Structure 1
Amino acid sequence: MNIVEFLQDLMSQVPALVQPLIVALAAAIPFVEGELASVLGVWAGLNPFVAFLAAVAGNFMSVFVVVGFGARIRSAIVDRRARQRELVNADGTTASAPAAGAEVVKPESKGRQRFRRFLVRFGVPGASILGPLALPTQFTSAMLVATGVSKAWILLWQAVAIVLWTGATTAVAAGVLALVAG
């Protein structure tokens, strides 16, 4: 039995309304994402358009959650650091913390330095569209949030990237299936 027949047999045991939900759940998993989930959905017998929509929705929802929580975490960290920098004197006046040179500054990791150079070179659109070649969209989104990029900007360009990559892989999967089943 080949993989296509196995997937079709497996999906035939699940109600038709649940099949897109399975594709969406698979798309929410990093490294599977919309690209592989849509391929699996098409090969399992789903309509390519349904597989595409389910995979895009599942992948985008996971990115939305990562960006939402990541932004809240970043905001809390930035606020905490700002409060720590202000020292309250005995008379109630505030004074700034010791000079930046006196603070312990951790050097950036090599990976973070590479990502920052990549972000400067290509911007958020480039990092979002080219990012899936190296990292899952959830990881790219988390790194963009950590650098302070706007949530709306991240979500917009991640949506564009998810639609582009998932659309391309869905089309290829449908084409390959048509050739094989031909």
Structure 2
Amino acid sequence: MLDQLQSFAESLPAAVQWLGIILLGAIPFVESYLGSVIGIVAGLSPWVAIPAAIVGNVISMLAFVFTAHGVRQAATKGREAPALSPRRQRLKERFDRYGVAGVSLLGQLVLPSQITSAAIVGFGASRNAVILWQTISIILWGVLFGVLAMLGVNIIGRA
């Protein structure tokens, strides 16, 4: 799958490859971390690939957060929240233990930021706090993987 995504990015004209990386960054499980890697491996400058992947991931996350917030408000208006599935219960336990910041920063090890952010908002966390911490997390993960990809490309290029 990563080969296909990289081929997609490379097939675009050089002037709009950054748009392709924004689109890739918006895909759950690709996000800022793999989007930045794909962009760098496809030949984009890290100064373009990393921010493009981050922008795509943030835009996608915002769509999930605002949708989840609206659904939660409509679903809980005047009634009690329904029982959680076992999987959502585990996520809620982590949320209760680590808070919005911890789940946002570490949640990407388990689930995409889009799903994690929607779940956190669904648990009743502040929409603005989720947006802030998810954005910080997306930036950190995108930069980390982008730098690692850049170093890897430089090492392979020298070999």
Q: TM-score normalized by structure 1?
A: 0.79
Instruction: Give unmatched runs, 5+ long, in structure 2.
Output: none
**Is 1:22 aligned with 2:25?**
no
Aligned pairs (5 A) from 1:131-146: 131-146=107-122
Which one of 146, 169, 172 corresponds to residue 145 of structure 2? 169
Instruction: Give unmatched runs, 5+ long, in structure 1.
Output: 86-99
**Is 1:76 aligned with 2:74?**
yes
RMSD: 2.0
Higher helix proportion, which one?
A: 2
SS of 1:29's partner is: coil
Identity, in percent, stands at 38
- 1:52–1:147 distance in 2 versus 1, CA, 3 Å: same
Q: Conserved in 2, the CA contact under 8 Å of 1:8 and 1:43?
A: no
Comparing 114-123 with 161-170, greater Cα deviation is found at 114-123
The equivalent residue for 2:101 is 125
- 1:38 is displaced (CA, Å) by 0.6
- 1:16 is displaced (CA, Å) by 2.7
Q: Conserved in 1, the CA contact under 8 Å of 2:9 and 2:39?
A: no
The equivalent residue for 1:115 is 91
- 1:110 is displaced (CA, Å) by 1.5
The equivalent residue for 2:43 is 45
- 1:109 is displaced (CA, Å) by 1.9
Q: Which has the larger radius of gyration?
A: 1
Residues paired across the two proteins, number:
154
Q: Conserved in 1, the CA contact under 8 Å of 2:12 and 2:20?
A: no
CA distance in 2, matches of 1:20, 1:9: 12
Structure 1 runs (4+) greater than 6 angstroms displaced: none
Q: Conserved in 2, the CA contact under 8 Å of 1:26 and 1:33?
A: yes
